[in-house]
């Protein structure tokens, strides 16, 4: 941008009649294109760095419901105490469990988990695992968030084959204790963290709307996911 301003200043001082307008347009266009590409590369590098950081503290929560039935969700490792690590997830992910295992992608291990605290009304739960290996954590602090802000959703949609999937979206609406956003979430994403692009937790994915009625016809819906707000999370873990 500085180069463009210098060119324009030169035009002003020397007089426009001496300048080839078409050549000037091409020069300014080239400068703008170069700067735009540079800015996009910066953004991509930043998003890649933050994605790798937040993936490191996101886990898969696998729940055995019976001898023949299993389900899974996602979670975030947010605190440690010696060899004990604490994971935040949704209560509905672990409801009716017979046993719970947590898959830690960063160390490629399954670890048995116990329930420390759960609240069905808030749909939040805290699990504890014990690991001799160091497990990455993402601290939870109160941060501001606004409609229009970019966010990253992390989790294990569909199956553990897709653990640590990161999707990008935008906060669409904030109402009561929920953030509505359009980052892609799917079955298995519940309990997965929602971060701002600085890698700070702003919410915990809890649900989505994927169909609705148009008259008597069921139609698909896209881009309507919901996360529990950070204020509710901090109140629960405190």
Q: What is the pLDDT of residue 212?
A: 66
| 83 and 47, same domain (yes or no) | no
Please report whether residue 194 resides in a domain.
yes
Q: What is the pLDDT of residue 9?
A: 45
Please report whether residue 136 resides in a domain.
no
Q: Catalytic residue numbers?
A: 92, 123, 190
| Number of domain units in the chain | 3
| 125 and 157, same domain (yes or no) | no
| 218 and 160, same domain (yes or no) | yes
| 9 and 21, same domain (yes or no) | yes
| 227 and 211, same domain (yes or no) | yes
Tens digits of residue pLDDT in 30-51: 666 665 555 667 788 889 999 9
| 84 and 40, same domain (yes or no) | no
Query: Is the pLDDT at 100 greater than 50, yes or no?
Result: yes
Please report whether residue 160 resides in a domain.
yes
Q: What CATH number should be reported for the domain holding residue 118?
A: 2.40.10.120
Please report whether residue 105 resides in a domain.
yes
Q: What is the pLDDT of residue 188?
A: 92
Q: What is the pLDDT of residue 3?
A: 52
| 213 and 224, same domain (yes or no) | yes
Please report whether residue 144 resides in a domain.
no
| 107 and 169, same domain (yes or no) | no
Average pLDDT over the chain, rounded to an integer: 86
Rounded average pLDDT over 157-164: 90
Q: Is 227 left (phi over 0), alpha (psi -120 to 50) or beta?
A: beta
Residue 181 domain boundaries: 150-237
Q: What is the pLDDT of residue 223?
A: 76
Among 55, 70, 94, identify where a domain stops: 55
Query: Is the pLDDT at 132 greater than 80, yes or no?
Result: yes
Tens digits of residue pLDDT in 65-79: 877 778 999 999 999
| 102 and 166, same domain (yes or no) | no
Please report whether residue 114 resides in a domain.
yes
Q: What is the pLDDT of residue 159?
A: 87
Query: Is the pLDDT at 220 greater than 80, yes or no?
Result: no
């Amino acid at each position: 941008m500085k180069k463009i301003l210098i060119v324009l200043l030169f035009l002003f001082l020397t007089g426009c009649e001496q300048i080839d307008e078409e050549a000037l347009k091409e020069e300014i266009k080239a400068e703008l294109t170069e700067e735009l590409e540079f800015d996009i590369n910066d953004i991509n590098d930043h998003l890649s760095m933050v994605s790798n950081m937040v993936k490191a503290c996101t886990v898969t929560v696998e729940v055995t419901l019976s001898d023949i039935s299993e389900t899974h969700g996602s979670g975030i490792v947010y605190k440690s105490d010696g060899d004990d690590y604490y994971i935040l997830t949704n209560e509905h992910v672990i409801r009716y469990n017979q046993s719970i295992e947590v898959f830690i992608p960063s160390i490629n291990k399954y670890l048995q988990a116990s329930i420390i605290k759960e609240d069905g009304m808030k749909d939040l739960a805290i699990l504890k695992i014990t690991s001799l290996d160091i497990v990455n954590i993402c601290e939870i602090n109160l941060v501001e968030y606004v409609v229009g802000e970019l966010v990253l959703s992390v989790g294990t949609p569909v199956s553990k084959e897709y653990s640590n999937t990161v999707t990008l979206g935008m906060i669409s609406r904030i109402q009561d204790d929920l953030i509505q956003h359009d980052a892609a979430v799917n079955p298995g994403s519940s309990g997965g963290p929602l971060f701002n692009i600085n890698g700070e937790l702003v919410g915990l994915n809890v649900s989505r709307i994927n169909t609705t009625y148009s008259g008597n016809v069921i139609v698909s819906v896209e881009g309507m996911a919901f996360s529990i707000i950070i204020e509710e999370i901090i109140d629960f873990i405190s």
